[in-house]
Amino acid sequence: MDLLSAIGIQKKIVEKLGMDILDNETIDGRAGRLCAKIQGKKILVILDNVQEKIDMEVVGLPRLASCKILLTCRTRGVLSFDKMRAEKVFQLDILGKEESWSLFGKMAGDVVKHNGRLRDVAIQVAEKCGGLPLLIVTVASSLKDKSKLHAWKDALRKLDKEESTEKAYLSLEWSYNQLDDKELKQLFLLSGIIVRANRVYVLDLLKYGMGLGLFKNVHTVEEIDCIHWLKNLKFLFVDLR
């Protein structure tokens, strides 16, 4: 784990606990304050999408009976005993049929609730997502505002045609193809290049986007409608820094 990752994790936890982030504070100093804060208190810390070993003591989370740490990770090896010393590892399988439809319906919204014919096709579309949450969220979000039956049938045909495609790649390809605007597509591709620690920073998008000439007559983040559009579609999760 590099120093920047440890500092980032520290600051997030400190903020959640309502503590002040002090200027020029060392990582050891912040770790000491954090450890003192949680001593004797029942605390659950959830770290999502862990990709490398995290030294909890460096962060300020030593092994305490009152502090439980839950990690999510795509690779089981990261949580192995010699790296993270995880006490228990739970493997999550793909979603079942009912769970898939529940998630799909939540992301697609009212459009699948009140139209019987459209709902029947939507159920088939959800099944074609193979129980993968990422693909379900991606597809459902892209169809959220489409009330025409042909749009849903077209989505079903595409999923049928690409059923053998690697699902993780398919979710990205689907996201890209659902963007009708050229500027949106360019911004989506740019976000994949400049991502840092699984985050895309708005100011980075603005800086590089303007430098590459992607935005015309734009001077502030607020003027870039496509960033907010991608966020609303759940295609982009940004950090306002």
- pLDDT tens-digit map of 175-202: 677 676 777 788 778 877 776 655 666 6
Task: Give dist(CA 150, CA 167) in Å, integer.
Answer: 23
The residue-averaged pLDDT of 69-92 equals 78
CB distance 104 to 129 below 8 Å? yes
**Tens digit of each residue's pLDDT (9 = 90 or more) over 210-229:** 778 776 665 555 555 666 65
CB distance 54 to 9 below 8 Å? yes
Task: Give dist(CA 229, CA 234) in Å, integer.
Answer: 9
**Tens digit of each residue's pLDDT (9 = 90 or more) over 9-36:** 888 899 888 998 888 889 999 999 999 9
Specify the range with the lowest mean pLDDT, choosing from 13-22, 119-128, 154-163, 231-240: 231-240
Give Rg (Cα) of the chain: 21
pLDDT of residue 33: 92
What is the residue extent of each domain of the chain?
3-79, 97-165, 182-239
Confidence category of residue 98, pLDDT binned at 50, 70, 90 = very high
pLDDT of residue 134: 80
26 by DSSP, 3-state: which? coil
Check: pTM over 0.85? Answer yes or no.
no
70 by DSSP, 3-state: which? strand
Reported as type and span, the H/E element at residue 43 is strand 43-47
pLDDT of residue 122: 95
